[in-house]
Amino acid sequence: MSKLRVAVLGAKGRIGSEAVRAVEAAEDMELVAALGRGDKLETLAETGAQVVVELTTPDSVLANLEYCVGHGIHAVVGTTGWTEERLGRLKGWLAASPETGVLIAPNFSIGAVLTMKFAQLAAPYFESVEVVELHHPNKVDAPSGTATRTAQLIAAARREAGTAPAPDATQTALDGARGADVDGIPVHAVRLRGLLAHQEVLLGGEGETLTIRHDSLHHSSFMPGILLGARRVVSTPGLTFGLEHFLDLS
């Protein structure tokens, strides 16, 4: 059986360098390119890449995907910074290349995907809910893509169930003291040397609280999800948002 031809963009970064090693170690894959900032995207077509693993920065990801989708190269995307406007542009490119698949995964680790699922399930049953994400201090965006997605899923679950807004008597607050408002859910971002990627979903009701916590302690936690994404995206045209869809968890 022929091997899946995979390229990594952002190959010298924290997660990209780990992804290069994971693809090299996968028996059913061949690493055909490992590109960093400034390297030519034309290498992707020249080397016959079937799937690109995109792990760069929010300011680079769109141009990279425009090239990939335009050349019929499938993509597995971990890079953050997605807004409705950016997703709309990507969907436009995919509409013009209907056989190409793109997976955007706010988080590739199974524990984080399950955290989002558990939070969605619990959200309508508690009066209060807030999200705290904690990351290494080199992270360029806040709040994290995972926390943003978690809050959006929580908000949707509460809307669907008709849950009332969480009680909050705050009348005066320093800017930022109550976190960022993501679809009505407060999201707090901590940046601390020594951490990698962590998240708590705090839920509170009468006389009880529930805390759902996930910790990624090493970038290896993201690799099984990236490899699964690469294997599945080649036969899944269009945009898939969230690894849960490839884990039969959606």
Ligand X SMILES: O=C(O)C1=N[C@H](C(=O)O)C[C@H](O)C1
Ligand Y SMILES: NC(=O)C1=CN([C@@H]2O[C@H](COP(=O)(O)OP(=O)(O)OC[C@H]3O[C@@H](n4cnc5c(N)ncnc54)[C@H](O)[C@@H]3O)[C@@H](O)[C@H]2O)C=CC1
Q: How far is the CB of 108 from ligand X (least distance, A)?
A: 8
Q: Measured between alpha carbons, how far apart are the two ends of the chain, in Å?
A: 31
Q: Is 188 helix (H, G, I), strand (E, B) or coil?
A: strand
Nearer to ligand Y, 68 or 155 (CB): 68
State the catalytic residue, choosing from 117, 135, 188, 214: 135
Q: Is 204 annotated as a binding residue?
A: no
Residues that bind ligand Y (rule: CB under 6 A) add up to a total of 24
Distance of CA 199 to the CA centre of its chain: 13
For the segment 27-86, give every residue that binds ligand X (CB under 6 A).
80
Question: Which option in ligand X, ligand Y, none does residue 120 bind, with CB closer than 5 to 8 A by kind?
Answer: none
Q: Is 109 helix (H, G, I), strand (E, B) or coil?
A: coil
Instruction: Reply yes or no on whether 139 is catalytic.
Output: yes
Residue 222 lies near ligand Y (rule: CB under 6 A):
yes
**Are the C-beta atoms of 182 and 146 separated by less than 8 Å?**
no
Question: Which option in ligand X, ligand Y, none does residue 47 bind, with CB closer than 5 to 8 A by kind?
Answer: none
* Two tokens, residue 53: 């693993």
Instruction: Reply yes or no on whether 117 is catalytic.
Output: no
Q: Is 107 annotated as a binding residue?
A: yes
Q: Find the length of the chain.
A: 250
In 92-142, beta strands by DSSP E: 101-104, 128-135
H-assigned helices in 174-241: 223-233
Encode 176-201: b = buried (16+ Cβ within 10 Å), e = exposed: eeebbebeebbbbbeeeeebebbbbb
Residues that bind ligand X (CB under 6 A): 80, 106-107, 135, 139, 144-146, 197
State the binding site for NAD(+).
10-15, 78-80, 105-108
Which positions are catalytic?
135, 139
Q: Which residues bind ligand Y (CB under 6 A)?
A: 9-10, 12-16, 35-37, 55-57, 60, 64, 78-80, 105-108, 145, 222
